[in-house]
Amino acid sequence: MFYLVETRYVGPNKHRHRHDEIWISHDPAAPGMHGNWEVVHHGAFETLPDAKAAVHAEFGTARAFTAGTLRRLIAISPATVAAYRL
């Protein structure tokens, strides 16, 4: 399964965290507040292409992270397979 997970920064330093993020992951992550970040689920999908299509259908012009940034995210969260900025 591939899970669509949105992270929204809700803390006091919005100027440093201007973009919400969408992650496609094998791990559904725990929804709710995690420090200054809110985690919101947007569904589970059987295939990666279905999950990627859902990102663009639901969020429109999401920008994919660069390969280097994605590698760093995967090092932090190995279940991550794709990530986008809104």
Delimit the domains of the chain by residue range. 2-85
Residue 3 pLDDT level (bands cut at 50, 70, 90): very high
Q: Is residue 76's pLDDT more than 80?
A: no
Q: How far apart are CA 24 and CA 4, in angstroms?
A: 5
Q: How far apart are CA 58 and CA 2, in angstroms?
A: 16
Q: What is the pLDDT of residues 33-62, one digit of tens each?
A: 878 888 889 999 999 999 999 999 998 888
Cβ neighbours of residue 72 under 8 Å, at least 6 residues apart? none
What is the pLDDT at residue 67? 82
Q: How far apart are CA 68 and CA 43, in angstroms?
A: 26
Residue 18 pLDDT level (bands cut at 50, 70, 90): low
